Amino acid sequence: MRRRRGPAWAEQTPTWRAARPALIADALKRASARPSGNWFVAGASRDVRPGRPCGRTVGGVEVVLWRSESGDLRAGPGACPHLGAPLRKSRVVCGTLVCHWHGLALDGGAFAGWQPYPVHDDGVLVWVRLDAVGGEEPSERPVVPARPAPGTGVDAVFTAAGRCEPQDVVANRLDPWHGSWFHPYSFVDLTVVREPQGGEGADEDDAFVVDVSFRVAGRLVVPVRAEFTAPEPRTVVMRITDGEGAPSVVETHATPLTAADTDRPRTAVIEAVVAASERRGFALARAAAPVLRPLMRGTAGRLWRDDLAYAERRWELRSTGRFPG
């Protein structure tokens, strides 16, 4: 739709009174208390391709992922148990990981002290369970948000990293009030119509509900209603519940890259966008998915250029005892 000419950026209604630090902190505290089962998002499913290993570092732990001959996901420590070669640079032969230093072969089972990690491939993202990093009671499966039915959407995964901790990324997403101020190139007319309800039964109604218009070009906008929830400590989900694009979801996953006790933490933002629409013409978008994915990643990247600055600034203030409140 074409938006009527609204107030200029400086003429918007200020949102700082509504964005109460205690409200955001309480929402973050509730999210941090939910179980993750020690599961961490390692990247996009399509990043782990047949025939080649994929290396990641999660919580200071070097991890290698690859696919078996049947396409099943495998993962384990990233150092060869023989002399420590970097397995991410090795080869996958007929579904077996073969070290490029001396030819030691790993089929995904335990061998010479090398123990595999539990993994999960949800079709969009790959997860690895690291019990020593998570320190929680392990669970059989990660907390995967509900998404549009398989085959009905177009998914794209954007990844970036910043000097902060996962909680700083999550706190950014639990502050919807910054949207039209900090991202005027993407959002206008943003109103938080419902805040999370703390206390008894908070998990059932712990959501920010937002009315916002996504800017397409100039005065052309798409108004929607969206809901923000945090199903586990390192994930925030934005779900479009009404308007064009329902029931699309944007999942923001914050994966620590460094160990918890480091003085200079780094965190990866792994954001999965699963776009869907009930319009009949959306089938054309699905057919053009390879073309759309770079555009979707580019849009996410523009937002995270600013939002990582927000998260990094939050960590800088927290780490030096200057954070308000």
pLDDT tens digits, one per residue of 99-121:
999 999 999 999 999 999 999 99
Residue bearing the bigger pLDDT, 136 or 200: 136
CA–centroid distance for 124 within its chain? 11
Provide the token pair at 267: 């965190």
pLDDT tens digits, one per residue of 83-96:
999 999 999 999 99
- C-alpha to C-alpha distance for 9 and 11, rounded to whole angstroms: 5
Provide the token pair at 187: 């959002």
Amino acid in position 202: A
Which residues lie below 8 Å from residue 185, measured CB to CB, with a gap of 6+? 215, 302
**C-alpha dihedral sign at 272, 107, 64, 62:** positive
Within 10 Å of residue 325's Cβ, how many Cβ atoms? Answer: 7
pLDDT tens digits, one per residue of 255-273:
999 999 999 999 999 999 9
Which residues lie below 8 Å from residue 111, measured CB to CB, with a gap of 6+? 81
Provide the token pair at 201: 């039964």
CATH architecture of 39-134: 3-layer Sandwich (2.102)
- C-alpha to C-alpha distance for 170 and 172, rounded to whole angstroms: 5
Q: Is residue 193's pLDDT more than 90?
A: yes
pLDDT of amino acid 3: 67
User: Which of 35, 10, 55, 12 lies closest to 230 in space, CA to CA?
Assistant: 35
- Fold assignment, 9-34+153-320: Alpha-D-Glucose-1,6-Bisphosphate; Chain A, domain 4 (3.30.530)
pLDDT of amino acid 202: 54
Q: Where are the alpha helices (DSSP H) in the chain?
A: 21-32, 131-134, 166-173, 179-182, 282-287, 289-319
Domain boundaries of the chain, sorted by first residue: 9-34+153-320, 39-134
> Against a cut of 0.85, is the pTM above it?
yes
